[in-house]
């Protein structure tokens, strides 16, 4: 058992504005402290008015310049090591909103170097798994979000289709030993770093998708990313199980400071309540002689029960913002950390005997003892083996070769005939493999076969792994092909939808004019029929209005669909993340080129090794032949040429290994960049959808407004009404186009342009009342369009009279 207090660290977020006066000191024992100096006039609220200096001690304080790598090396790596050794570990980030919790735990969305604790820890764990061949490791992952004290599974694939509230809630169950179990939380196996990162990406994307302006889940929810690890030595029945929780808590600011109401206030209360319960648990734990710890008050404290005062090595990172206006919250965060530092945890090595493995082992032992006995007592059989026996033995040998367990045995019973047959089978396989290797030597790409013939020919375990890798790649290809097919279909659908919409538009315009002719709007007495006394519309007028509204809606949909694609292009161009996306794309391209160059280097090194090996082989054969034909050279004597060739081979091998290592690291970076780009794409799409529906709504409202304003035309002439409404609609449609095409070049915010367009269509506007963008070219375009529109209106008006 390891007794340890919770380790506390602080990280200061780089400040953009003027900062408060603070300093960070490191002492000779390796710990450090942060001191805030608060001038009297700034000290308000809960801060003691008389005190001006606040000093807090931490294991280490990371000032503004600290890199993500430093944070991982100093904070996360020791915890990951203890998790690998079989202890539970937790790292949680605590601090006010925007102080850098997510940046520290998950990382920034822009650069590869901004990867946070989770991706770096995953990388570290999987590297360890591949290096340590003394144990068999298995990793599972879960990702829980706690929002308004309800739990949600971030790895639930239904996230994309459903709202957060509609998803099944994760609930807490307790067994008689008071162990916590989470119902509805999936735990997914992850065989590689790539799979684990994909799960992290899936969870983060789900979290982002569930966000709405009213539900900024990332700020208001707690997230717990957990790696469930189990390890055992091959053949051993003792399993070591440990858990690593990486926790991003919700913002810790006080409700009064957030200045929110309604739904946000409810959320803020929940957050504060759960953080308040966390504080209560921490106070209770730091008090001596407290028997009851109120873990059950909130879901978060229940889930983290082991991490707080239990069987866990826990580390807290206090994230601090040193902007002047945030200083009180930073002091409050530090105070909280000081209390946390008093909590003692007792971490146990989580070893247990797996009963199933134990039974299996004992069964095997009994069986082999029986076989031994049969051999000793001479119970041998002499009749011939049947075809079925041969078949069964072949299968057994195949299974035996595939088994990754080095202690696996061929279970043949006390039957010499079977044992001998299996030996024959194995001999046949080895001979065949040697023949293949001989052939493979001639091929430059068979480095491993040729190069490591005598040292490291692939073991059955490696073969199995390669086979699985192949299978996985096949699956990935299938998924990608399906995705491509889907995308292609979607593109085709979009084109046919576009064609359909323009047809619709033409048809509707046509039917609209036919309809208006039928309804007699072009006849001079039409208005007397449709308008009742006092100018009030009769039922017939109302019917006409609802019909025209229908046409109006169709036209709007048409114009939206037609403009959507172009609008998306412009939206994308103007989006705040564009520069990052472009940078990442460029970086990805560069990395691909680097990877290609490294791949070529690897291949060259491989080729050179094979060439040198062939020379070595030739040299040996020549020397041997020379010895046989009675030459003078002594075969036992060392040959300097051979020595040199060997040295060159070693050198090339080193070169090959180093380049291959670099290529592998580059692959991880490329995969990460691809994930960053994918996430940026999802965000862009989501932002666009929001903006687009806002604009659609705005246009709808403006349509209603104009229809109301056009009501006097109903009374004057139905024909005028139809004409002017059609003109308005068509011009609005044109406006959308002009706005998206012409003005787009100016690079101004598209929202503003749409507002200009909508405002220019409202009755009673003048040229001078049109809001302009400030860009000369753009403003000239807007004014030219508005004038053209006025001319069109006047011309259609006069030709009508
Ligand atoms: N150490 C840092 N270096 C550079 N940028 C940082 C750092 N810490 C935070 N940021 C940036 O500050 C912004 C806010 O950080 P982050 O989202 O991590 O805060 P948070 O505490 O998780 O907030 P919330 O409670 O809303 O989730 C982000 O844009 C992030 O990239």
Whole-number Å distance, alpha carbon 270 to ligand 1 midpoint, is 22
Pocket probe for ligand 1: among 15, 72, 102, 216, the residue whose CB has the most ligand atoms within 8 Å is 102
- Cα–Cα distance, 445 to 610 (Å, whole number): 9
pLDDT at 477: 78
**Ligand 1, atom nearest to 95 Cα:** 21
Distances (CA, A) of 439 to 290, 446, 447, 449: 75, 9, 12, 10
Distances (CA, A) of 323 to 19, 26, 95, 97: 4, 22, 14, 13
CA angle 167, 170, 172 (to 5 degrees): 160
108 Cβ below 6 A of ligand 1: yes
Q: CATH fold of 575-625+642-699, please?
A: Helix Hairpins (1.10.287)
Q: Which residue has the least CA distance to atom 25 on ligand 1?
A: 97
pLDDT at 209: 64
Whole-number Å distance, alpha carbon 74 to ligand 1 midpoint, is 20
DSSP per residue, 88-145? -EEEEEE-STTSSHHHHHTB-SS-GGGB-HHHHHHHHHHHHHHH-TTSEEEEEEEEEE
Whole-number Å distance, alpha carbon 21 to ligand 1 midpoint, is 21
Q: Which CATH superfamily is 2-41+49-353 part of? A: Kinesin motor domain (3.40.850.10)
pTM of the predicted protein model:
0.59
Beta bridge partners, 56, equal: 34
Tell me the mean pLDDT per 10 residues along the chain, length 801: 87 82 85 85 53 88 94 96 92 92 91 93 94 91 90 82 74 83 92 92 79 53 93 85 93 56 56 77 77 84 85 93 86 91 83 76 78 68 79 89 80 79 89 72 44 54 79 77 75 68 52 43 37 39 42 48 72 83 88 89 87 86 74 68 87 87 86 86 83 74 56 47 49 49 40 45 49 66 70 57 44
- Cα–Cα distance, 602 to 661 (Å, whole number): 10
Asked if 182 and 171 count as a contact pair (C-beta separation under 8 A), the reply is yes
**Ligand 1, atom nearest to 99 Cα:** 21
95 Cβ below 6 A of ligand 1: yes
pLDDT at 35: 92
pLDDT at 262: 54
Q: Tokens 């992952």 correspond to what residue?
A: 141
102 Cβ below 6 A of ligand 1: yes
All residues at 6 or more sequence positions from 389 whose CB lies less than 8 Å from its CB, including other chains: 418, 421
Burial call 177-205: b when 16+ CB within 10 Å, e when fewer: eeeeebeebbebebebbbbbbbbbbbbbb
Q: Which residue has the least CA distance to atom 16 on ligand 1?
A: 100
Whole-number Å distance, alpha carbon 120 to ligand 1 midpoint, is 17
Q: Which residue has the least CA distance to atom 1 on ligand 1?
A: 13
159 Cβ below 6 A of ligand 1: no
Is 472 annotated in some ligand binding site?
A: no
Beta bridge partners, 54, equal: 36
Pocket probe for ligand 1: among 10, 75, 103, the residue whose CB has the most ligand atoms within 8 Å is 103
Is 100 annotated in some ligand binding site?
A: yes
Q: Two tokens at 242? A: 């440990």
The CB density around residue 755, as the number of other CB atoms within 10 Å, is 15
pLDDT at 541: 38
**Ligand 1, atom nearest to 108 Cα:** 31
**Ligand 1, atom nearest to 103 Cα:** 18
101 Cβ below 6 A of ligand 1: yes
All residues at 6 or more sequence positions from 208 whose CB lies less than 8 Å from its CB, including other chains: 218, 679, 682, 683, 686
Whole-number Å distance, alpha carbon 113 to ligand 1 midpoint, is 15
Q: Is the dihedral of CA 584, 587, 589, 595 positive or negative?
A: negative
Q: Two tokens at 156? A: 């639930």
Is 446 annotated in some ligand binding site?
A: no
98 Cβ below 6 A of ligand 1: yes
Whole-number Å distance, alpha carbon 65 to ligand 1 midpoint, is 14
pLDDT at 162: 61
What is the helix (H) or strand (E) element at residue 516, kind and residue range? helix 460-518
Whole-number Å distance, alpha carbon 166 to ligand 1 midpoint, is 29
All residues at 6 or more sequence positions from 280 whose CB lies less than 8 Å from its CB, including other chains: 294, 297
pLDDT at 282: 84
218 Cβ below 6 A of ligand 1: yes
Q: Two tokens at 593? A: 């080129």
Pocket probe for ligand 1: among 10, 12, 13, the residue whose CB has the most ligand atoms within 8 Å is 13
Q: Which residue has the least CA distance to atom 15 on ligand 1?
A: 100
Is 95 annotated in some ligand binding site?
A: yes
Whole-number Å distance, alpha carbon 79 to ligand 1 midpoint, is 23
Whole-number Å distance, alpha carbon 101 to ligand 1 midpoint, is 6
Beta bridge partners, 700, equal: none
Asked if 385 and 428 count as a contact pair (C-beta separation under 8 A), the reply is no
219 Cβ below 6 A of ligand 1: yes
Is 102 annotated in some ligand binding site?
A: yes
Is 101 annotated in some ligand binding site?
A: yes
All residues at 6 or more sequence positions from 355 whose CB lies less than 8 Å from its CB, including other chains: none
- Distance spanning both ends of the chain, measured CA to CA: 97
Can you list the pairs that 544-548 forms with residues at least 24 positions away whose Cβ atoms lie under 8 Å? 544/519, 544/718, 545/707, 547/515, 548/512, 548/722, 548/725
Backbone angles phi, psi at 422, to 5 degrees: -65, -40
In this structure, what DSSP letter does residue 581 have? H
116 Cβ below 6 A of ligand 1: no
100 Cβ below 6 A of ligand 1: yes
653 Cβ below 6 A of ligand 1: no
The residue extents of the domains of the chain are: 2-41+49-353, 575-625+642-699
- Cα–Cα distance, 69 to 690 (Å, whole number): 36
Going by C-alpha positions, the residue among 465, 378, 391, 459 that lies closest to residue 425 is: 391
């Amino acid at each position: 058992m390891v007794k340890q207090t919770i380790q506390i660290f602080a990280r200061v977020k780089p400040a953009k504005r003027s900062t408060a006066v603070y300093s960070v000191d490191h002492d000779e024992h390796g710990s450090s402290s942060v001191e805030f100096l608060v001038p009297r006039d700034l000290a308000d609220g809960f801060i003691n008015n008389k005190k001006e200096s606040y000093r807090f001690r931490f294991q280490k304080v990371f000032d503004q310049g600290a890199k993500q790598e430093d944070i991982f090396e100093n904070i996360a790596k020791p915890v990951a090591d203890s998790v690998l050794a079989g202890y539970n570990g937790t790292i949680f980030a605590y601090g006010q909103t925007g102080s850098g919790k997510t940046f520290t735990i998950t990382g920034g969305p822009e650069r590869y170097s901004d990867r946070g604790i989770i991706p770096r820890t995953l990388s570290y764990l999987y590297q360890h798994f591949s290096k340590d061949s003394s144990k068999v490791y298995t990793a599972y992952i879960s990702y829980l979000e706690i929002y308004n004290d309800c739990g949600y599974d971030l790895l639930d694939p239904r996230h994309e289709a459903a709202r957060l509230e509609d998803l099944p809630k994760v609930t807490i169950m307790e067994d008689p030993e008071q162990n916590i179990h989470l119902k509805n939380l999936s735990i997914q196996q992850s065989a590689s770093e790539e799979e684990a990162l994909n799960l992290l990406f899936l969870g983060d994307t789900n979290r982002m998708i569930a966000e709405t302006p009213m539900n900024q889940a990332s700020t208001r929810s707690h997230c717990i990313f957990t790696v469930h690890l189990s390890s055992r030595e091959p053949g051993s029945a003792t399993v070591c199980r440990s858990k690593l929780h990486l926790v991003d808590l919700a913002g810790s600011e006080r409700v009064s400071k957030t200045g929110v109401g309604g739904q946000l206030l409810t959320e803020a209360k929940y957050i504060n309540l759960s953080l308040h319960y966390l504080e209560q648990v921490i106070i209770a734990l730091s008090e001596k002689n407290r028997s009851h710890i109120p873990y059950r008050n909130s879901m978060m404290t229940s889930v983290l029960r082991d991490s707080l005062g239990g069987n866990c090595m826990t580390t807290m990172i206090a994230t601090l913002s040193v902007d002047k206006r945030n200083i009180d919250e930073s002091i409050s965060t530090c105070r909280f950390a000081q209390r946390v530092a008093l909590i003692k945890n007792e971490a146990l090595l989580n070893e247990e005997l797996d009963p199933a493995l134990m039974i299996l082992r004992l069964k095997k032992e009994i069986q082999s003892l029986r076989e031994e006995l049969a051999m000793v007592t001479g119970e041998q059989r002499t009749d011939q083996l049947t075809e079925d026996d041969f078949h069964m033995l072949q299968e057994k040998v195949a299974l035996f070769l595939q088994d990754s367990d080095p202690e696996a045995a061929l279970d043949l019973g006390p039957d010499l005939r079977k044992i001998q047959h299996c030996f024959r089978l194995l001999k046949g396989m080895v001979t065949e493999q040697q023949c293949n290797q001989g052939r493979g030597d001639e091929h430059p790409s068979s480095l491993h076969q040729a190069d490591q013939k005598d040292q490291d020919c692939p073991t059955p375990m490696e073969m199995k792994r390669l086979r699985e890798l192949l299978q996985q790649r096949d699956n990935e290809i299938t998924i990608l092909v399906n995705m491509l097919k889907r995308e292609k279909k979607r593109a085709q659908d979009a084109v046919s939808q576009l064609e359909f919409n323009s047809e619709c538009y033409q048809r509707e315009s046509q039917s609209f004019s036919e309809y208006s002719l039928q309804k007699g709007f072009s006849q001079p007495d039409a208005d007397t029929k449709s308008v009742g006394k006092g100018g009030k519309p009769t039922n017939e007028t109302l019917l006409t209005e609802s019909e025209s509204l229908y046409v109006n809606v169709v036209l709007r949909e048409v114009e939206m669909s037609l403009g959507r694609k172009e609008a998306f292009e412009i939206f994308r161009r103007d989006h705040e993340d564009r520069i990052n996306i472009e940078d990442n794309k460029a970086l990805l391209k560069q990395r691909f080129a680097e990877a290609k160059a490294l791949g070529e280097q690897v291949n060259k090194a491989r080729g050179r090794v094979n060439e040198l090996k062939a020379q070595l082989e030739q040299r040996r054969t020549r020397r041997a032949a020379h010895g046989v034909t009675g030459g003078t050279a002594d075969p036992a004597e060392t040959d300097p040429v051979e020595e040199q060739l060997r040295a060159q081979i070693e050198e090339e091998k080193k070169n090959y290994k180093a380049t291959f290592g670099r290529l592998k690291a580059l692959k991880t970076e490329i995969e990460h960049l691809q994930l960053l780009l994918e996430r940026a794409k999802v965000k862009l799409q989501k932002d666009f959808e929001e903006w687009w529906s806002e604009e659609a709504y705005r246009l709808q409202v403006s349509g209603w407004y104009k229809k109301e304003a056009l009501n006097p035309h109903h009374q004057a002439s139905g024909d005028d009404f139809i004409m002017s409404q059609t003109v308005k609609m068509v011009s609005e449609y044109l406006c959308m186009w002009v706005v998206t095409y012409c003005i787009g070049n100016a690079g101004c915010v598209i929202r503003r342009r749409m507002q200009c367009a909508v405002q220019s269509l409202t009755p009673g506007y003048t040229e001078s009342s049109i809001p302009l963008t400030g860009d000369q070219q753009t403003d000239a375009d807007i004014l030219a369009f508005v004038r053209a529109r006025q001319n069109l209106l006047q011309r259609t008006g006069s030709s009508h009279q």
